[in-house]
Amino acid sequence: MSSIIVVFGIAVALLGAMGLVRPTGLIRFVETAWQSSTGFYLAVTVRVVLGVILIVAAPDCRFPDVVRILGIVSLIAAAVAAILGHERLRSFVEWWIGRPAGFIRGWSVAAVAFGCFLVYAAF
């Protein structure tokens, strides 16, 4: 399970790095991913799967309590997204992609840090 967390952490860090280097590329990726309801359901499913993996793998991680809490937060985020629905979240995504490049880069720094933390915690 820890290797799945490492892979996910690397993916998050790479997406964050893309947003740092080229915010418009990240914006295009987010726009494309949220255009269809399939992307929405995929995002909810990924959050549920990630949440379960984090909770199950937490005892084997360096920071088990933090990883478990992140898993719970992921499950809550999936539930909130499902309750809000595709259209409301799409409105939020449209607001997010309309922000200046500095704002996107700030979120990207957080994504890189989060991804690196997951990789570190999984070992």
Domain parsing of the chain, residue ranges: 2-122
| Residue 21: HSE in the Cβ half-sphere, 13 Å Cα cutoff | 8
Q: Are 105 and 23 in contact (CB under 8 A)?
A: yes
pLDDT of residue 104: 94
What does the block give as tokens for 73? Answer: 């937060």
| Residue 114: HSE in the Cβ half-sphere, 13 Å Cα cutoff | 14
- Lowest average pLDDT, out of 28-32, 57-61, 108-112, goes to 28-32
State pLDDT tens for residues 32-83.
Answer: 877 778 888 998 999 999 999 999 999 999 999 999 999 999 999 999 999 9
What does the block give as tokens for 34? Answer: 């949220």
